[in-house]
Amino acid sequence: MSPWWKSAVVYQIYPRSFADSDGDGIGDLGGILHRLDHLAALGVDVIWLSPVYRSPQADNGYDISDYRDIDPLFGTLADIDTLIAEVHALGMKLVMDLVVNHTSAEHPWFTESRSSPDNPKRDWYIWRDARDGVEPNNWGSFFSGPAWTWDPGTEQFYLHLFDRTQPDLNWHNPEVRKAVQDIMVWWLDRGVDGFRMDVINFISKADGLPDARPVPLQRHVIAFDGFADGPRVHDYLAELTRTVFGGRDGEYLTVGEMPGVTTEQARLYTDPARGEVDMVFQFEHMAIDQSPTDKFEDRGLDLVALKATMHRWQAALADTGWNSLYWSNHDQPRVVSRFGDDDPAYWAASAKALATVLHGMRGTPFIYQGEELGMTNHPFRYPQDYRDLEAVNYYDDVLARGGDTAQALIGLARMSRDNARTPIQWDAGEHAGFSTGEPWLPVNPNHRWLNAEVQTATTDSVFAHYRALIRLRHELPILAEGDFTPLFPDDPQIWAYTRATAEHRLLVIANCGRDTRTVDIGAEWEGAQLLLGNLPGTPAASASLELPAWDARIYSIACHAAAGRRPA
Ligand code: TEU
For residues 388 and 421, give the distance between their C-alpha atoms in angstroms, rounded to a whole number. Answer: 9
For residues 204 and 265, give the distance between their C-alpha atoms in angstroms, rounded to a whole number. Answer: 14
Cα 331 to ligand 1 centre (Å):
6
446: left (phi over 0), alpha (psi -120 to 50) or beta: alpha
Our mutation pick for probing the ligand 1 site, out of 331, 332, 368, 387, counting the most ligand atoms within 8 A of Cβ, is: 331
| Contact call for residues 241 and 249 (beta carbons, < 8 A) | yes
The helix/strand/coil state of 311 is helix
The helix/strand/coil state of 324 is strand
pLDDT at position 292: 86
| Contact call for residues 9 and 473 (beta carbons, < 8 A) | yes
For ligand 1, atom 20, the nearest C-alpha belongs to: 62
Cα 144 to ligand 1 centre (Å):
13
H helix or E strand, kind and range, residue 195: strand 194-197
Q: How far is CA 104 from its chain centroid? A: 21
Q: Is the CB of 388 under 6 A from ligand 1?
A: no
Q: Which residues are designated catalytic?
A: 198, 257
For residues 351 and 335, give the distance between their C-alpha atoms in angstroms, rounded to a whole number. Answer: 8
For ligand 1, atom 5, the nearest C-alpha belongs to: 331
pLDDT at position 560: 65
For ligand 1, atom 14, the nearest C-alpha belongs to: 198
pLDDT at position 170: 98
pTM: 0.97
| Contact call for residues 63 and 166 (beta carbons, < 8 A) | yes
Cα 224 to ligand 1 centre (Å):
14
For residues 190 and 197, give the distance between their C-alpha atoms in angstroms, rounded to a whole number. Answer: 18
Our mutation pick for probing the ligand 1 site, out of 162, 366, 393, counting the most ligand atoms within 8 A of Cβ, is: 162
Work out which ligand 1 atom sits closest to the CA atom of 259: 4
Q: Between the CA of residue 96 and those of 60, 93, 192, 252, what are the distances in Å?
A: 15, 10, 7, 11
Q: Is the CB of 224 under 6 A from ligand 1?
A: no
pLDDT, one tens digit for every residue, the chain (568 residues): 789 999 999 999 999 999 999 999 999 999 999 999 999 999 999 999 999 999 999 999 999 999 999 999 999 999 999 999 999 999 999 999 999 999 999 999 999 999 999 999 999 999 999 999 999 999 999 999 999 999 999 999 999 999 999 999 999 999 999 999 999 999 999 999 999 999 999 999 999 999 999 998 889 999 999 999 999 999 999 999 999 998 888 899 999 999 999 999 999 999 999 999 999 999 999 999 999 889 999 899 999 999 999 999 999 999 999 999 999 999 999 999 999 999 999 999 999 999 999 999 999 999 999 999 999 999 999 999 999 999 999 999 999 999 999 999 999 999 999 999 999 999 999 999 999 999 999 999 999 999 999 999 999 999 999 999 999 999 999 999 999 999 999 999 999 999 999 999 999 999 999 999 999 999 999 999 999 999 999 999 999 999 999 999 999 999 865 444 333 3
The helix/strand/coil state of 151 is strand
Work out which ligand 1 atom sits closest to the CA atom of 295: 12
For ligand 1, atom 17, the nearest C-alpha belongs to: 331
- Counting Cβ atoms within 10 Å, is residue 352 exposed (0-12), middle (13-18) or buried (19+)? buried
Work out which ligand 1 atom sits closest to the CA atom of 330: 17
Cα 546 to ligand 1 centre (Å):
41
Cα 259 to ligand 1 centre (Å):
8
For ligand 1, atom 23, the nearest C-alpha belongs to: 62
For ligand 1, atom 3, the nearest C-alpha belongs to: 259
Work out which ligand 1 atom sits closest to the CA atom of 63: 23
Our mutation pick for probing the ligand 1 site, out of 55, 166, 198, 324, counting the most ligand atoms within 8 A of Cβ, is: 198
H helix or E strand, kind and range, residue 544: strand 544-547
H helix or E strand, kind and range, residue 187: helix 174-190
Q: Is the CB of 234 under 6 A from ligand 1?
A: no
For residues 401 and 393, give the distance between their C-alpha atoms in angstroms, rounded to a whole number. Answer: 12
Residue 504: partners with Cβ closer than 8 Å, 6 or more residues away: 476, 478, 482, 556, 557, 558, 559
Cα 337 to ligand 1 centre (Å):
20
Cα 411 to ligand 1 centre (Å):
18
Burial code (b: 16+ CB inside 10 Å, e: under 16) for 374-392 equals bbbbbebeebebbbbbbbb
Q: Is the CB of 295 under 6 A from ligand 1?
A: yes
Q: Is the CB of 199 under 6 A from ligand 1?
A: yes
pLDDT at position 567: 39
H helix or E strand, kind and range, residue 405: helix 405-415
Cα 235 to ligand 1 centre (Å):
23
For residues 462 and 451, give the distance between their C-alpha atoms in angstroms, rounded to a whole number. Answer: 10
Q: How far is CA 284 from its chain centroid? A: 12
Return the percent helix, strand and coil in the chain, to nearest 5. Answer: 35, 20, 45
- Counting Cβ atoms within 10 Å, is residue 459 exposed (0-12), middle (13-18) or buried (19+)? exposed
Using only the alpha carbons of the chain, give its radius of gyration.
24
Alpha carbons within 13 angstroms on the beta-carbon side of residue 160 total: 22
Angle between helix 303-316 and 263-270 (nearest 10): 40
Angle between helix 77-89 and 174-190 (nearest 10): 60
| Contact call for residues 48 and 98 (beta carbons, < 8 A) | no
Q: What is the DSSP string of 57-112?
A: -TTTTSS-SEEEEE-TTT--HHHHHHHHHHHHHTT-EEEEEE--SB--TTSHHHHH
Work out which ligand 1 atom sits closest to the CA atom of 162: 22
Q: Is the CB of 418 under 6 A from ligand 1?
A: no
Q: DSSP secondary-structure letter at 443?
A: P
Q: Count how many residues are written for the chain.
A: 568
SS (H, E, C) 455-493: HHCCCCCHHHHHHHHHHHHHHCHHHHHCEEEEECCCCCC
Beta bridge partners, 294, equal 291
| Contact call for residues 531 and 552 (beta carbons, < 8 A) | no
For ligand 1, atom 6, the nearest C-alpha belongs to: 331
For residues 198 and 193, give the distance between their C-alpha atoms in angstroms, rounded to a whole number. Answer: 16
For residues 405 and 410, give the distance between their C-alpha atoms in angstroms, rounded to a whole number. Answer: 9
Q: Is the CB of 198 under 6 A from ligand 1?
A: yes
| Contact call for residues 409 and 416 (beta carbons, < 8 A) | no
Cα 258 to ligand 1 centre (Å):
10
For ligand 1, atom 2, the nearest C-alpha belongs to: 199
- Look at residues 274, 542, 288, 368 and name the one whose alpha carbon lies nearest to residue 14: 368
For residues 77 and 71, give the distance between their C-alpha atoms in angstroms, rounded to a whole number. Answer: 9
For residues 222 and 95, give the distance between their C-alpha atoms in angstroms, rounded to a whole number. Answer: 29
Q: Is the CB of 296 under 6 A from ligand 1?
A: no
Q: Is the CB of 259 under 6 A from ligand 1?
A: yes
Phi, psi (5° rounding) for residue 478?
Answer: -60, -30
| Contact call for residues 371 and 335 (beta carbons, < 8 A) | yes
Our mutation pick for probing the ligand 1 site, out of 199, 282, 330, counting the most ligand atoms within 8 A of Cβ, is: 199
List, in order of start, the domains of the chain with CATH numbers: 4-102+174-381+421-469 (3.20.20.80), 103-168 (3.90.400.10), 382-415 (no CATH), 482-558 (2.60.40.1180)
Cα 255 to ligand 1 centre (Å):
15
